[in-house]
């Protein structure tokens, strides 16, 4: 007996019908490095200055950040989001870093002189590993890309912040939270 | 981790679509980027596998297959050989590039994985083979498998620079 066709159109299987991947797949480092290099070159061809290039890289990073937030919260945190400032930073430093780069970031520090500012420090950043900075572009830091990811993750979690990448003890990401974020966190602590 | 790779590629494609508007140009640009990657990736492949020249095109197919295993951790199956033995298909059940990807309807002409065709072309060119390749089926367009067709065009001669033989 032949099967009965009710509809001529095969139903579109939506991405939401599939189960969430475990995220254990691996690709070779060379693949990522070469893809990233193409991405940087592409960005470079469309901008004139180093800060513009870094902004562009950060924008591309943000695209990743927006997507990774929900994915990680669902997969690693049982759908629960962090509401405390310190916890969200630890989430970035541990969970996010581990799932993207295979290990945690090296250090998380709080600035002594400014309660809004935190630093995430990484001795050897994956994106800088294969980059040799040309002399005429001394301040260039491809870690802006990662800074973009971090910024998007923090903002999506409800902690608006500005994240920038710097050369300091390796690669340092400076996280500057909005005043409102710090004030809110204080309120939480007082209760 | 492959997700970083997937998402980075996704961000790149999204940016290209924003920048070009014309989907054909995006396909072209992806192919060109792939080509640049391919000509560098082949070095890595040869260094890792220590494999010599391809004996015939079937041998090439197997080496391409092992390349996918090494670099993307997937093993596409080799099928649909043409009678002349100059064309075959690589079928992908899964593809790390397309995880999390859903094509919006207005991108029906987008060849999302077109970077792969560039990679293959670039890599083969570096070992003096001109090939052509294109997608005939795509899971993102609701096909059951993603099928990449590879065709041998010709051997490139005189590609060795003087004084290096």
- Name all domains of chain A by residue range, CATH numbers in brackets: 29-190 (3.30.1380.20)
ipTM of the complex: 0.85
Q: Which of B13, B14, B15 to mutate to test the interface with A (most CBs of A within 10 A)?
A: B15
Instruction: Render pLDDT for B47-82 as a digit per residue (tens, 0 to 9).
Output: 888 888 888 888 889 999 999 888 888 888 998 899
| pTM score, whole prediction | 0.84
Residue ranges of B 137-156 with Cβ closer than 8 A to chain A: 142
Mean pLDDT of B5-17: 88
CA A100: distance to chain centroid? 8
CA B38: distance to chain centroid? 8
CA B51/CA B63 separation, integer angstroms: 9
**What is the nearest CA distance from B9 to chain A, expressed in angstroms?**
7
Candidates B5, B15, B33; nearest CB to A27? B5
Instruction: Report the candidate in A22, A47, A101, A34 with the shortest Cα–Cα distance to residue B38.
Output: A34
pLDDT the model gives residue A136: 59
Nearest 5°: the CA angle A157, A160, A166 is 110
Please indicate if any CB of chain A lies within 8 Å of the CB of B125: no
pLDDT the model gives residue B164: 57
Instruction: Render pLDDT for B18-56 as a digit per residue (tens, 0 to 9).
Output: 888 788 898 999 999 999 999 989 988 998 888 888 888
Backbone φ and ψ of A19, nearest 5°: -80, 155
CA B18/CA B151 separation, integer angstroms: 32
Under DSSP, the state recorded for A117 is E
Instruction: Render pLDDT for B113-165 as a digit per residue (tens, 0 to 9).
Output: 889 999 999 999 888 889 999 988 888 887 888 899 999 888 887 656 666 55
pLDDT the model gives residue A137: 62
Instruction: Render pLDDT for A26-72 as a digit per residue (tens, 0 to 9).
Output: 778 888 888 888 888 888 888 888 888 888 889 889 988 988 888 88
Judge whether A15 and A105 are in contact, CB under 8 Å. Answer: no
CA A189/CA A191 separation, integer angstroms: 5
Tell me if B7 and A35 make a contact (CB, 8 A cut-off): no
Residue of A nearest to B115 (CA): A35
Strands B146-155 and B129-137: antiparallel
Mean pLDDT of A8-20: 59
Q: Which of B6, B8, B113, B141 to mutate to test the interface with A (most CBs of A within 10 A)?
A: B8
Instruction: Render pLDDT for A123-168 as a digit per residue (tens, 0 to 9).
Output: 877 766 666 665 556 666 678 888 999 999 999 888 999 998 887 7
Structural domains of chain B, ranges and CATH numbers in brackets: 1-155 (3.30.1380.20)
Tell me if A67 and B100 make a contact (CB, 8 A cut-off): yes
Coil, helix or strand at residue A174: strand
Q: Which residues contact residue B5 at a Cβ distance below 8 angstroms, ignoring those fewer than 6 apart?
A: A27, A31, A32, A35, B96, B97
Residues paired with B31 in a beta bridge:
none
Please indicate if any CB of chain A lies within 8 Å of the CB of B103: no
Mean pLDDT of B88-117: 80
Instruction: Report the candidate in B119, B127, B109, B102 with the shortest Cα–Cα distance to residue B30.
Output: B119
Residue A186 banded pLDDT, cuts 50, 70, 90: confident
CA A68/CA A79 separation, integer angstroms: 13
Place of tokens 């890599």: B123
Instruction: Render pLDDT for A65-115 as a digit per residue (tens, 0 to 9).
Output: 988 888 888 888 887 888 888 899 998 998 888 888 888 888 899 988 888
CA A65/CA A147 separation, integer angstroms: 9
Instruction: Report the candidate in A79, A118, A74, A126 with the shortest Cα–Cα distance to residue A98.
Output: A126
Residue of B nearest to A14 (CA): B102
pLDDT the model gives residue B118: 92
Residues paired with A163 in a beta bridge:
A175
Candidates A34, A59, A100; nearest CB to B1? A100
pLDDT the model gives residue A1: 47
pLDDT the model gives residue A71: 86
**What is the nearest CA distance from B84 to chain A, expressed in angstroms?**
33
């Amino acid at each position: 007996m032949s099967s009965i066709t009710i509809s001529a159109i095969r139903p579109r299987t939506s991405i939401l019908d599939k189960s969430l991947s475990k995220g254990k797949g691996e690709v070779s480092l060379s693949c990522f490095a070469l893809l990233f290099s193409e991405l940087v070159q592409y960005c470079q061809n469309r901008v004139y200055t180093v800060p513009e290039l870094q902004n562009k890289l950060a924008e591309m990073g943000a695209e990743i950040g927006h997507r990774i937030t929900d994915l990680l919260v669902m997969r690693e945190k049982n759908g629960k989001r962090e509401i405390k400032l310190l916890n969200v930073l630890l989430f970035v430093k541990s969970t996010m870093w581990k799932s993207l780069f295979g290990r945690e970031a090296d250090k998380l520090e709080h600035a002594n002189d400014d309660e809004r500012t935190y630093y995430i420090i990484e001795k050897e950043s994956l994106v800088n590993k294969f980059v040799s900075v040309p002399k005429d572009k001394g301040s260039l830091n491809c870690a802006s890309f990662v800074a973009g990811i971090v910024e998007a993750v923090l903002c999506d979690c409800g902690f608006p912040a500005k994240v920038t990448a710097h050369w300091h003890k390796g690669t340092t990401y400076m996280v500057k939270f909005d005043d409102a974020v710090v004030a809110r966190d204080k309120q939480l602590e007082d209760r | 981790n492959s997700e970083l790779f997937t998402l980075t590629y996704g961000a790149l494609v999204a940016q290209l679509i924003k920048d070009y508007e014309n989907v054909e140009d995006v396909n072209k640009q992806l192919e060109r980027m792939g080509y640049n990657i391919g000509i560098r990736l082949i070095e890595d492949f040869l260094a890792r596998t220590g494999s010599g020249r391809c004996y015939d095109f079937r041998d090439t197919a197997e080496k391409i297959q092992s390349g996918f295993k090494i670099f993307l951790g997937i093993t596409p199956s080799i099928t649909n050989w043409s009678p002349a033995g100059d064309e075959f298909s690589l079928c992908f059940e899964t593809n790390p590039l397309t995880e999390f990807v859903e094509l919006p309807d207005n991108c029906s002409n987008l060849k999302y994985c077109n970077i792969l065709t560039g990679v293959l072309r670039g890599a083969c060119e570096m070992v003096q083979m001109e090939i052509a390749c294109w997608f005939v089926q795509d899971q993102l367009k609701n096909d059951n498998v993603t099928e990449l067709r590879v065709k041998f065009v010709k051997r490139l001669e005189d590609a060795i620079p003087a004084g290096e033989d």
